[in-house]
Amino acid sequence: MARQDTLIFGCSALGHEVAMQLSERGIQVYLYSNNLDEVGGLLAKGLQAAVIDYTDDEKLMGIGIGKWVKTIFCLFSEEPKNLFLTLSARALDPDLKIICVAESIESSERLRAAGATKVIDPYEISGQRVHEMIARPYLVEMLENTVFGKHIDIAEIEIPDSSVLAGMALSDLELNKKYDLIVIGVVDLELSNQLIFTNSGVDHRLDAGDILVVIGGKQEIERLRQGVSAAGEP
């Protein structure tokens, strides 16, 4: 079985919100909690939820952690639960993508140390958003209506083995003239997972396996995807 599944632990408001967002993107999610009442509430809303004792490694393996599960979200409202789950899951699967919620800077550090791939602090982010609204109202309005408003998407496009783009320099692509989109940069996973910006002055030579990061309309991105895969002129 391909590693596909996404599991959410913790069925609070936050878990519900993430489940909704992922469902909107067409990703199938399963919610788990040790609290029967919360699970019941989500089942009533039509989501797939189940009760689990997350402290038992056998049970975690039973639902696919270490086997076919690709991503888990630790969204319990209590930090110790998240920490415990992160440690257990990381021990079961070193490659698992673990995304955690944290409510303070210290707790983010602890979760990262326990093996979380990504720690997101909703309050920190909200605070930043509020500040952006004050400092740069026009930009925020623009971004809310475009990037966050789903008119414009952010996408990563992997360059396949046979692509014509392989071997070309980043500055020679001129994709924003051929397509109506903007190439932000490229990530060469062989070097590091840092993004090399198009404007950084480093003229990166593309090879297969590199990931292009682009912003643009859905159709244009789809067009680029096909163009990149095609063996001919993009």
Interface stretch with another protein, choices 31-39, 56-64, 87-95, 149-157 (CB under 8 A): 149-157
* Per CB under 8 A, 164 contacts another protein: no
Report 166-195 residues binding another protein (CB under 8 A).
171, 176-177, 180-182, 184-185, 187, 193, 195
* Per CB under 8 A, 6 contacts another protein: yes
Q: Print burial letters for 7-38: b (CB count within 10 Å at least 16), e (below 16).
A: bbbbbbebbbebbeebeeeeeebbbbbbeeeb
Closest residue by Cα to residue 4 from 67, 48, 51, 47: 67
Interface stretch with another protein, choices 33-41, 42-50, 57-65, 147-155 (CB under 8 A): 147-155
Decide: residue 129, CB within 10 A, 0-12 exposed, 13-18 middle, 19+ buried.
exposed
How far apart are the C-alpha atoms of 168 and 204, rounded to whole Å? Answer: 8
* 3-class secondary structure per residue, 159-174: CCCCCCCCCCEHHHCC
* Per CB under 8 A, 91 contacts another protein: no
Among 4, 13, 51, 59, binds another protein (CB under 8 A): 13
Could you tell me how many residues of this chain bind another protein (CB under 8 A)? 72
Among 28, 145, 162, 226, binds another protein (CB under 8 A): 145
* Per CB under 8 A, 103 contacts another protein: yes
Q: What share of the chain is helix, strand, coil (3-state, %, to 5)?
A: 40, 25, 35
Q: Is 209 helix (H, G, I), strand (E, B) or coil?
A: coil
Among 209, 217, 223, 225, binds another protein (CB under 8 A): 217
* Per CB under 8 A, 14 contacts another protein: yes
Based on CB atoms, which residue is closest to another protein, 56 or 208? 208
